[in-house]
């Protein structure tokens, strides 16, 4: 029986004879993080008020670590599409040019990764959640937003978490296009929740009535992910 791998990256199908090296690294990384979730790694048992800028158990970094599933898909702006669909009045598929023609905005925010690093004062440019919501108009029964990425990653938030004024679909970070490793050309940015809720290489946003826990949420991470109450794991 054929036990190889089929990779679908950036519109190209790659078939290999064996589980790929990417597959092996990926399984190792995922296993390690799942183990940490089971052990409750990083938990301090403290909570902090949101006025305290650094959430409990976090430490500040100046660089910007890269975390992914072992694959960083190459997503080209020339063939890029973002699908917005589900429980909305106006489902739409946007090209890169159409995204850039939407009202653009800028936000400075902090990011907090469950692996305990935080990074302050990141300047994001892109399209605000408010603009996306005005465009698609979620139906009254819509409760959740599921992000789907070009590396098959998924993550879920409640509609009101997405609707916060600091939430963006970001294409630029500190004045330059977001690099491929950090999820360019477009990533979600939901600064008040742990960073796994901010999907890189964004492909589709599905507006839904029933919740669908995403990649990490089904592997031991918390469904809500508030750093100030240390909602790291489930």
Ligand X SMILES: Nc1nc2c(c(=O)[nH]1)N[C@H]1C(S)=C(S)[C@@H](COP(=O)(O)O)O[C@H]1N2
Residues that bind Mo ion (CB under 5 A): 67, 196
Among Mo ion, ligand X, none, what binds residue 217 when CB lies within 5 to 8 Å by partner kind? none
Instruction: In angstroms, give the least distance from the CB of 151 to ligand X.
Output: 5
Give the C-alpha separation, 3 to 18, whole Å.
Answer: 7
Q: CB-wise, 138 or 227, nearer to ligand X?
A: 227
Q: CB-wise, 162 or 196, nearer to Mo ion?
A: 196
Among ligand X, Mo ion, none, what binds residue 60 when CB lies within 5 to 8 Å by partner kind? none
Q: CB-wise, 80 or 216, nearer to ligand X?
A: 216
Q: CB-wise, 29 or 131, nearer to Mo ion?
A: 29
Where do contacts with ligand X occur on this chain (CB under 6 A)? Answer: 64-69, 113, 149, 151, 153, 182-183, 195-196, 198-201, 216
Strand ranges inside the chain, DSSP E = 5-9, 12-16, 59-60, 81-86, 92-95, 105-112, 117-128, 144-149, 154-158, 168-173, 176-177, 187-189, 202-208
| Sign of the dihedral defined by the CA atoms of residues 164, 158, 135, 198, in that order | positive
Q: Which residues contact 129 (CB under 8 A, 6 or more apart)?
A: 162, 163, 164, 165, 167, 168, 169
Among ligand X, Mo ion, none, what binds residue 182 when CB lies within 5 to 8 Å by partner kind? ligand X
Among ligand X, Mo ion, none, what binds residue 65 when CB lies within 5 to 8 Å by partner kind? ligand X
């Amino acid at each position: 029986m054929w036990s190889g791998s089929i990779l679908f990256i950036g519109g190209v199908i790659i078939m290999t004879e064996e589980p790929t090296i990417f597959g092996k690294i990926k399984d190792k990384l995922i296993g390690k993080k799942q183990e940490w979730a089971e052990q409750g790694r990083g938990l301090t048992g403290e909570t902090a008020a949101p006025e305290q800028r650094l959430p409990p158990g976090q430490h500040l970094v100046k660089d910007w670590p890269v975390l992914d599933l072992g694959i960083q898909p190459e997503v080209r702006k020339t063939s890029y599409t973002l699908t917005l669909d589900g429980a909305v009045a106006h489902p739409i598929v946007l090209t890169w040019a159409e995204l850039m023609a939407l009202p653009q905005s800028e936000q400075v925010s902090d990011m907090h990764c469950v692996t305990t690093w935080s990074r302050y004062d990141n300047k994001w440019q892109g399209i605000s959640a408010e603009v996306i919501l005005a465009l698609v108009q979620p139906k009254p029964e819509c409760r959740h937003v599921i992000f789907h990425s070009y590396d098959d990653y998924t993550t879920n938030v409640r509609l009101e978490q997405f609707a916060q004024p600091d939430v963006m679909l970001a294409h630029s970070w500190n004045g330059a296009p977001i690099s491929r490793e950090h999820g360019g050309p477009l990533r979600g940015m939901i600064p008040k929740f742990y960073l796994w809720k901010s999907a890189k290489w964004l492909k589709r946003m599905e507006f839904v009535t029933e919740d669908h826990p995403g990649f990490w949420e089904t592997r031991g991470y918390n469904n809500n992910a508030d750093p100030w109450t240390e909602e790291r794991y489930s």
